[in-house]
Copies of this chain bind each other. A is one copy, B any other.
Amino acid sequence: MASTTNHTPPLLDLTIDNITENVVRINSQSSNARLNYLMERLVTHVHDFARETRLSTHEWMATIEFLTKTGQMCTDVRQEFILLSDILGLSMLVDSIDHPKPPNCTEGSVLGPFHTGDAPHLPIGSSMSTDAAGEPMLALCTVSDSSGRPISGVKVDIWETDSSGHYDVQYANRESPSERCIMTSDVDGGFWFKAIKPVSYPIPDDGPVGKLLQLLNRHCWRPSHMHFMFEKQGLDPLITTLFIRGDKYETSDVVFGVKSSLIIDLGKVDEETATKYGVPVGALLLRHKFVLASTEETEKLRDKNAMEAMERLGLKTKLIDHLPVPDLD
């Protein structure tokens, strides 16, 4: 298309001190006020970063190479940029901003790079694991709203690693999904399934992000956990994780995802439960009540938090589609 525009401001003789305002100006020509705001903040922060660090050409080139390798490490089943966002705490921060939780609702956690779109829909009571080496675990869960009313028909996406700490997509010869499934909550808001006890595992450390962690003298481990994602019209989508108490990485999760309220104790299946659910007596038992916020509850809270934060930052903004843009009125 290579079209020209008539309203380009003259840009010439840009220096360390005047380049930012000029780049911001030329990036403010869209009719999308939100895009203009995002670009203004992005350019300001990127330039400030370079000025505050006196970024060298050598460091700049190393960054270009790092980003290139990160993109090229991504495949249909591996997302290295999400991993980067995770280890920088950005993923958790964005989730906290976009999905604030009203009191008593289940808190969120990172999506992580291993959610896939191809998990099989399984009937309640199924086993989501095919790993015979894993420690059998029965999960009995419910979904309710913030007033305690059960919610039926919620789509629940569940995924975990196998007993060796690998997701199915980490195997080159993966033919079909395993250790993952989608269930739908029943009329009482219940869903239950057979799985294996989660184990702690290192995030993939054979790519650029793994190398960065090494340089930073950081470990690459996540405490043992199981992922859950909940969706239903009218509910704010919940992406969360349950962590097994006592894991040695509980307070040093490489992606910053652990919250006290998400750490759970596993019980043991008693005789009655064993008979009822068809599992061995003494098998591990995960019981959890998930509490979901409505879209309306979350939007109200998000808007309130946003306006308060903007005020604290001294920024004069208004919300359009629940997202801040400069208020020029």
Contacts and interface: CB of A to CB of B under 8 A. Distances in A.
Interface stretch (A23-31, A117-125, A138-146, A278-286): A23-31
Given A45-B49, A69-B71, A56 B94 contact: yes
A89 B202 contact: no
Nearest to A256: B14
A77 interface: no
A93 B47 contact: yes
A317 to B, nearest CB: 9
Q: How many copies does the complex hold?
A: 2
A68 B64 contact: no
A10 to B, nearest CB: 4
Contact of A23 (B2, B72, B89): B89
A52 B259 CA distance: 24
Interface stretch (A96-104, A151-159, A289-297): A96-104
B67 A71 contact: yes
Contact of A89 (B19, B48, B305): B19
A96 B56 CA distance: 10
Interface in A67-87: 67-72, 74, 79, 81-82, 85
A79 B55 contact: no
Interface stretch (A166-174, A190-198, A212-220): A212-220
A233 interface: no
B53 A90 contact: no
Interface string A13-54: 111100110110011011110010111011101111111111
A22 B96 CA distance: 15
Interface string A282-322: 00000000000000000000100110011001010000001
A4 interface: yes
A78 to B, nearest CB: 10
A12, A15, A30, A310, most chain B CB atoms within 10 A: A12
B43 A45 contact: no
A11 interface: yes
A302 B43 CA distance: 23
Contact of A90 (B46, B97, B98, B220): B46
B11 A253 contact: yes
Given A89-B47, A258-B11, A2 B221 contact: yes
Contacts of A8: 218-219, 251-252
Nearest to A214: B1
Contacts of A46: 45, 88, 90
A92 to B, nearest CB: 6
A277 interface: no
B41 A49 contact: yes
A251 B94 CA distance: 38
Contact of A52 (B49, B220, B315): B315
B215 A35 contact: yes
Given A2-B220, A53-B324, A64 B81 contact: yes
12 contacts: A2-B219, A5-B217, A14-B96, A32-B215, A38-B53, A52-B315, A53-B324, A54-B306, A59-B323, A60-B90, A60-B91, A60-B94
